[in-house]
Amino acid sequence: MDPLMTIDQAAERLCMSEATLRFWRHKGIGPKSAKFGRRIVYRESDLNAWIEAQFAAAAETNGRPTPAA
């Protein structure tokens, strides 16, 4: 079974605040998560996949933001 991480563990792993993860969850963006009772959890594999997707997106733009139209 894939290890589950609480929101504080996930925030530490991603070097961001819990508030950011909560906001992203509210907006439907960021890594996949689930709610068990009152607790929000993240699968370690989903965090790793999200991190890899961020690097892939940065590589497509050479790490630079796309210019505004």
The CATH number linked to 40 is: 1.10.1660.10
Domain assignment present for residue 42? The answer is yes
Give the pLDDT score at 64: 65
Domain assignment present for residue 43? The answer is yes
Share of the chain above pLDDT 90, in %: 74
Distance CA 58, CA 45 (A): 20
Check residues 64 and 18 and name the one with the higher pLDDT.
18
Q: What mean pLDDT is reported for the chain?
A: 90
pLDDT digits (tens, 9 = 90+) for 32-63: 999 999 999 999 999 999 999 998 888 877 75
pTM, rounded to two decimals: 0.80
Give the pLDDT score at 40: 95
Contacts (Cβ under 8 Å, ≥6 apart) of 50: 30, 31, 32
Give the structural domain span for 54.
4-60
- Which stretches of the chain are DSSP H helices? 7-14, 18-27, 44-60
- Sign of the Cα torsion 44, 10, 48, 42 reads positive
